[in-house]
Structure 1
């Protein structure tokens, strides 16, 4: 299950961006050639995030297509199927470009209940005191 290693890489990037804050959601672009199975990556994500700031966070995947160029007929197309054949002539003799990306697109942080220095939410600094 290569998804475990991918989940560890995603977690490292998430923790770097979260800077010690709890994470609710991470959105990741994953290339079709990485052949990431969503149920497997979700299981791996649950395992690797146990005890971390991302524990319980949702992982959203966006599959990026691979560009295919047929060596026989020259047809160019894109596909999210890593085993795609040329749609024009049916051959499997295709060149691929891209589709191996793994990009942390965004993270959603949990809302803080106490923000130091925020006069609207800082109970430790009553209004009017210095």
Structure 2
């Protein structure tokens, strides 16, 4: 299951960006050629995130297509299928470009459950101070 290694890489980027703050969600762009299975990456994410700022968070995947150029007919196309054939002639003799990206697009931080002070303009002085 190569998804475990990918999940570890994502976690390293998340922890770096989160700077110690808990996160709720991470959105990741994954190239089609990485062949990431969503159920497997979700299981791997839950395992590697345990005990970290990402524990209990959700991982959202955006699959990026691979660009194909057919050597038989010259057709150019894109596909999210890592085993794509030319859509014009059905040839498997295709050149690929891209599709191997792994990019942390964004993280959503968990909201604080308590913010000191009063949202109506209180400076946060303790009760009873002058």
What is the TM-score of this pair, normalised by structure 2?
0.90
Could you tell me how far 1:112 is from its partner in structure 2? 1.6
Conservation of the 8 A alpha-carbon contact between 2:118 and 2:124? no
SS in 2 for 1:13: helix
Could you tell me how far 1:127 is from its partner in structure 2? 8.0
Measure the CA separation in 2 of the matches of 1:95 and 1:107: 34
The number of aligned residues is: 129
Q: Which runs of 5+ in 2 are unaligned?
A: none
Measure the CA separation in 1 of the matches of 2:39 and 2:123: 43
What is the TM-score of this pair, normalised by structure 1?
0.90
Could you tell me how far 1:125 is from its partner in structure 2? 2.6
Q: Which runs of 5+ in 1 are unaligned?
A: none
Could you tell me how far 1:36 is from its partner in structure 2? 0.1
Conservation of the 8 A alpha-carbon contact between 2:64 and 2:80? yes
Conservation of the 8 A alpha-carbon contact between 1:31 and 1:64? yes
**RMSD of aligned alpha carbons:** 2.2
Measure the CA separation in 2 of the matches of 1:65 and 1:19: 31
